[in-house]
Structure 1
Amino acid sequence: MAHPPLLKPSMFSGFWYTSVLLGWGLLVVACVQVGTASITAAGLPLLMSAVLLLVLELLPLVQGRGHDPHGVVMSTAFVCAVLFMWGPWPAIVMVSIAAMASDLRAGKHWWKVLFNVGQYACSVAAGAVVIWLAGQHPSLQHPLPRFSVSDIGWVVGVWVVYFTVNLVLVSGVLAHRSSLRSELFDDFLHYSMMNFAVLGISPIIVVVAQNVWPLLPALLIPLLLLYRMAQMTLEKEHEAGHDALTELPNRSSMHFALNDHLSHARRTGDTFGLLLIDLDHFKEVNDSLGHHAGDELLVHFAHCLRRSVRPQDYVTRLGGDEFAVIIPAADERAARDVAERIRDSLIEPVYVQGMQLQIEASIGLAMHPEHGEGLEDLLRHADSAMYTAKESREGIALYSAVRDRNSTDRLSLLAELRQALDQHTLELHYQPKVSLADRGLLGVEALIRWDHPTRGFIAPDYFIPLAEQSGLMPMLTAQVIEIAVAQLRDWSELGLQVPMAVNISPTDLTGHRLTHLLAQTTTTHGVAAGMLKLEITERVVAEETEEMNSVLLTLHEMGVTLSLDDFGTGYSSMRRLKTLPISELKIDRSFVSSLFDSTADVGIVRAVIDLAHALGMPAIAEGVETESEWQLLHSLGCDGAQGWHIARPMPAADITEWITAHAPSSLRTDAA
């Protein structure tokens, strides 16, 4: 985690400068004192203590998750022992050398190295004040003569002061990541018990050094055993908290990490994202090639995940083919960027047992706190978004209460949508589609609009999936077709023959309900079926069924034309595309909007235009919003355009005026 700037006044800079300036000043004095003093009286016990202190500084006692990840340094016992016997100056020199060696070995940042040396020096000096107040003045020339029971009082005082100063200085510097109170008291009981257990060994070290100093190394035995036990606990904890196949943290570790991020976010107000990822068609790989092949695929995907996320992101395998990624300190855009990098990492095929396989994944995104304040809510909503991504084949989906089948808001909106359909309060707006060659009108697209009496404007992206999932889609489609065909009749009576495109859902293409509806509606209003163009998505291209093929063929025979909408965002088979009765290809707005940001998108748009022409149909660009986009598309050979640069979607009366002003003579007939 980045620290606040050192040149800006803050709690961090205040504690840092206090520790560094005071501590390094003490270290300079200590070096002078030790360098000019005779160490004859201290002799080999001092040298032995220094060596053991350095060894133990490199072996911190780490207790596992939930506790200080840096652990408790066992060298503290020898630091205090040196302080008791020979005073603060050799203790400061020894602990400074040991701290620098440990920090440099760990590759810590320079500001941490400077701070740690300073805060240790300050802690030792504070402990020395207690010794002096107790009437003791040990030094290299005059070591502590004898350690007795009467010394226990000031020894405990030194422990308390050393521990307190160390804790306050470290907490003050780390308070920027949460709060001073949190840094001081989170895990305080365990942390203090571990520290005082280590400090409690210091009188034993003093007694051994004063009487039988050659036995000092023997004190390493219980300390090293304690270190080894802690390491074994960490190994077991790692084994219990990680997936054996992918070596990623497992569900248990993810829950623990997610709770940590939730606690941090509540303190700081940060937002973060949670991705739940499910591999598509994984069961088919297991069933066809066996579990060993499935395992290879999971290991490969885990490697892709690690490469795709940021260093601070937390990747886990929940079990089976489900994975999760916690994305700290991120807004929705940053979280979606991570999700898109994960999807992009799967573009290249993977070879398993000599077979080429293409991995695909569905990713659900939930943001804290917008989509959940607690662990269960966040997990449930990310899971709901993942299934939305899988069902819609979008690849990535942000949680939406409207799409959540268990959401109370969804149930409420569903009832309100049914009421709107019953009361015929939905309406159509129309957006013109024009030729890039001469700006002549090619037709219009009918777009459904719902102006809710209390919620305001509700985007189609919210309520159309709701209608598809709830069974209201046939009713919604029937009303759209009725309004659209009635409008075509009205225009015809005004002498305007304007082709109209209407969006339909893949669910409309099951059975022949749609063909019967179109036949009945066009006959009732006296409108030629050829005036209607139905816009379908690539999902229809991907879902090849005999029933759907029959419906599309019947529509073609009726004279109803088909347009492939949002091309480039789904999964289109070229063979399937060639056989469908499609008369128009629409380039998705996401490619159009990025034309001046990405040369790759220019190449994609050019390729789509060439594909459309090779299939004998025009290419229409959606979402054209600037003249520069218009000119570039025209130079690429695109045939038509639709977007706000031409006109916004308009209600019937406004679009009629617009058509009257812009329609070419070819779209006009004499009024009836």
Structure 2
Amino acid sequence: MKDPHSTRDIGPRVGTPLWLYMVSAVVAGTGVLVVSGLGLGLDHLSGLVGEPLVWVLLCMIILGELRPVAVRGQAMDGGSPTSLPFTLAIVIYYGLPVAAILQAVAAVVAGFARGHAAHRNAFNAAQYTLSLGVADAVLRLLQPALARFDLPTGGELVVVALAGVAYLVVNRILVMCAVAMHERVPLQQVLFKDLRQQLHINAVLVSLAPLVVVAMTYSVLYVPLFAFPLSALHASALMLVRRDHQANHDELTGLANRTLMTKRAQEEISHARQRGGRVGLLLLDLDRFKEVNDTLGHATGDRLLETAAGRLVHSVRPGDLVARLGGDEFAVLLPQVRDTDAAAEVAVRLRGALGEPVRLNGVDLDLEASIGIALYPDDATEFEPLMQRADVAMYVAKAGRTGVESYDPGKDRNSTARLSLFSELRRGLAEGALEMHYQPKIRLSDDRPIGLEALARWRHPTRGLLAPGDFMPIVEESHLSRAFTSQVLDATLARTAQWRADGFRLPVSVNLGVRELLDPALPATVAAALREHGVPPGQLVLEIGEHALIVDTEAATAAVHRLRDLGVGLALDDFGTGHFTLAQLAGLPLDEVKIHESFTAHLDDGSGRGDTVVRAAITLVRALGMRATAEGVQSAALAEAARETGCHAAQGHHFSRPLPPGQVREWLLAHDGGAVADTTA
């Protein structure tokens, strides 16, 4: 499968170091091929054309070129060709000229079959010839009489192994020099990449060469039998690579995803730290993309994203990485960049490429993007803060409609202390520093607990246990939200499963913010967590803040319906703090609406303000078949007032503060007698 975003088939400009290198390799390879062929004699070579064994070997080499053993981290059409045992065997059996000719023909045929450019096919044929030439020299030097053996001796096997090592070393150096120049990275950075995997695979392939020679000696019919084990090796490796590719690439565009972007960025920052260079990170957000989805549908929106992805990939340098982070947000990693001005030039070029009109479904569309730039080490020395600062710059560009903005501390609302807290939180998540506390929810008709709300606490190394208000804004405004939500779900459902085993089947609520709700992976994450802990979907309630539903109403509504399909409970949190309308509420499959404490607090103040608003809200909620819960009930008087206004349930310090997990069971026993909670309305 050819990588649609590969730029290796774009020919190097004449006169560049890569062009000179490739031309030199082709000339040298051609020279070795011609000289060795003349030394053997054209008559002898032409006589080999009539040998069936030669044609069988050519077919096996072509098959081996088309079915390489793929390696994780490479394109699925890359890896170690399974042609190696046959070409090395031909060097032993027939000599260099025959091996080089057959391998060159196979490389060109396979290259064109894959759609590779002519310059790439010529270089591959040449580097194979040069590598085989070195292997042949080792064989001639150490074992001049090595040929047509039936049972290889120990010494002969050592010579074959050394020839194979020589071939592999030269082959890797020749190829990686071209890759390094193409991607504009230091040679050592690519030379040792995936080296351990390559060594294991190629050791197996080289070890087969003597067996191929034995098969060639006995019968031409034995040679094709090697196709079966080599095909099995190819298939098993390809399966692993496909899984790795799916885990690290966006399904729609084929670009790197957030996981791969994070990994590559951290690697490049490490390399830059060693060499004293700079790394650039560009975050792009497509402007008015939502309008395309709303007007022309999601299918057209997907095609537009695919178009944008292709334009971005072909507008950056080889070695730069383009990723789709989700939705209409992309990132571009510049492993080597001179300064902010150079990064800005790339950003302007990207905007220009995206700005070319796109015609989809008979409609001409104009793509525009807002781009934020941050540089290592100028703006941050770690990836997560670098991403956060590029994010800040992108939103400055979007708000000011300037198109491109570099990070400016003067425009960043985040203080140094806040950024420090961000880094500490990232480490805390990695080290499992989150703790969950649980606040009971009480049914007002009989004061029995009917649920628990999970509230995260962060055990800070120096500041102690921090409440959500101290760190949740950082989570909601950063790219930590997915990891945070995953940990909260895992901890909450693990504890819920324990309580369930003890006979307490109360539903437990988990809060979702804007990023979490709009994350396409959320339904799968929730479903996987429920399966892992054996908790029925109905025992999990997801609380969605009113603000999360207002930011992007259509996308949020679709997300809520996807969550409903899982069978989990759904609640609208903080009702009354935004501008959520009756029509919007009626269109959502909610079970519960939680009245914000700013209204609950006025229920017993005599002003009538809270009473009127809450009664109106409850009337609305009941008419829609939902339950109403009063938040922030801090006194018996407020609890009584909430009961009189018709609230189904209430939460607040009057009933209980959020409890550590170890205290929940005792509290439930004290307030419910250990019975299984009745959670019906």
Say yes or no: does 1:408 pair with 2:416.
yes
Which of 148, 156, 162 is 1:157 aligned to?
A: 162
Equivalent residue in structure 2 for 1:185, among 192, 199, 217:
192
Which residues in structure 2 correspond to 1:191-590 (within 5 Å)?
A: 191-259=198-266, 261-262=268-269, 273-278=280-285, 293=297, 296-297=300-301, 299-304=303-308, 306-307=310-311, 310-312=315-317, 314-327=321-334, 332-333=340-341, 335-336=343-344, 339=347, 362-408=370-416
Q: Distance in 2 between matches of 1:67 and 1:356?
A: 34
Secondary structure at the aligned position of 1:62 is classed as coil
SS of 1:383's equivalent in the other structure is helix
Give 1 or 2 for the bigger CA radius of gyration.
1
Structure 2 SS opposite 1:81 = helix
Q: Is 1:31 aligned with 2:40?
A: no
Please tell me whether the aligned partners of residues 401 and 410 of structure 1 are also in contact (alpha carbons under 8 angstroms). Answer: no
Aligned in 2, Cα 1:48/1:191: closer, same or farther, shift over 3 Å? same
SS of 1:192's equivalent in the other structure is helix
Partner of 2:108: 100
Q: 2:71 aligns with which of 63, 79, 100?
A: 63
| Separation in 1, partners of 2:105, 2:316 | 31
Give distance in 2, aligned partners of 1:267 and 1:106. Answer: 38
Paired residue secondary structure (2:145):
coil
- Deviation, 1:407, is 4.2
**Distance in 1 between the 2:201 and 2:109 partners?**
23
Q: What's the secondary structure of 1:100's corresponding residue?
A: helix
Unpaired runs of 5+ residues, structure 2, are 1-7, 420-681
Partner of 1:495: none
Q: Is the 8 A contact 1:403 1:410 kept in 2?
A: no
The farther-off stretch of 28-37 and 356-365 is: 356-365
Distance in 2, Cα, partners of 1:173 & 1:349: 35
Q: CA RMSD in A?
A: 4.6
Measured after TM superposition, the shift of residue 395 of structure 1 is 4.5
> Which 5+ residue runs of structure 1 have no aligned equivalent?
412-672
Shift of 1:115: 4.1
8 Å Cα contact 2:253-2:305 kept in structure 1: no
SS at match of 2:373: strand
Name the counterpart of 1:49: 57
Residue 156 of structure 1 and its aligned partner are, at CA, apart by: 1.7
SS at match of 1:402: helix
Q: Residues 333 and 308 of structure 1: is their aligned pair in 2 closer, same or farther, counting only changes over 3 Å?
A: farther
Deviation track 1:549-595 (CA, whole Å, cap 9, x = no partner) reads xxxxxxxxxxxxxxxxxxxxxxxxxxxxxxxxxxxxxxxxxxxxxxx
Deviation at residue 105 of structure 1 after TM alignment = 4.5
Flag the 1:342–1:157 CA change in 2: closer, same or farther, 3 A: closer
Deviation at 1:136, TM superposition (A): 3.8
SS of 1:364's equivalent?
strand
* 1: CA distance, partners of 2:360 / 2:133: 63
Residues 418-438 of structure 1 deviation map (CA, whole Å, 9 limit, x = unaligned) = xxxxxxxxxxxxxxxxxxxxx
Q: Are 1:130 and 2:130 an aligned pair?
A: no
CA distance in 1, matches of 2:357, 2:172: 53
User: Offset at 1:200?
Assistant: 1.4
* Separation in structure 2 between the aligned mates of residue 6 and residue 307 of structure 1, nearest angstrom: 24
Change in CA separation of 1:359 and 1:203 when aligned onto 2, cut-off 3 Å: closer
Would you say the 8 A contact 1:77–1:202 is kept in 2? yes
Amino acid at match of 2:311: R
| Distance (whole Å) between structure 2 residues aligned to residue 43 and residue 349 of structure 1 | 58
**How far does residue 45 in structure 1 lie from its aligned partner after superposition?**
2.8
Residues 87 and 128, structure 1, Cα contact 8 Å, conserved in 2: yes
Please give the secondary structure, in 1, of the residue aligned with 2:71: coil
- Structure 1: how far apart are the matches of 2:217 and 2:393? 69
* Deviation (angstroms), 1:28: 0.9
1:116 is matched with 124
1:165-224 deviation per Cα after TM superposition (whole angstroms, max 9, x unaligned): 323444455554333444443332222222112111112212222224313212101212
Bigger mean CA deviation after superposition, 176-185 or 50-59:
176-185
Q: Deviations over 1:574-632 (max 9, x none)?
A: xxxxxxxxxxxxxxxxxxxxxxxxxxxxxxxxxxxxxxxxxxxxxxxxxxxxxxxxxxx
Give the C-alpha shift of residue 257 in structure 1.
Answer: 4.0
Q: Does the Cα contact within 8 Å between 2:36 and 2:97 map onto a contact in 1?
A: yes
Q: Deviations over 1:367-404 (max 9, x none)?
A: 34432343223211101212333444545322111222
Match of 1:600 in 2: none
Determine the C-alpha separation between the residues in 1 that align with 2:358 and 2:20.
50
Instruction: Please tell me the residue identity of whatever aligns with 2:66.
Output: L
Which of 167, 170, 195 is 2:172 aligned to?
167
Q: Which amino acid aligns with 2:203?
A: F
Compared with structure 1, are the counterparts of its residues 369 and 53 closer, same or farther at alpha carbon in structure 2 (3 Å cutoff)? same
TM-score (norm 2): 0.50
Q: TM-score, structure 1 length as denominator?
A: 0.50
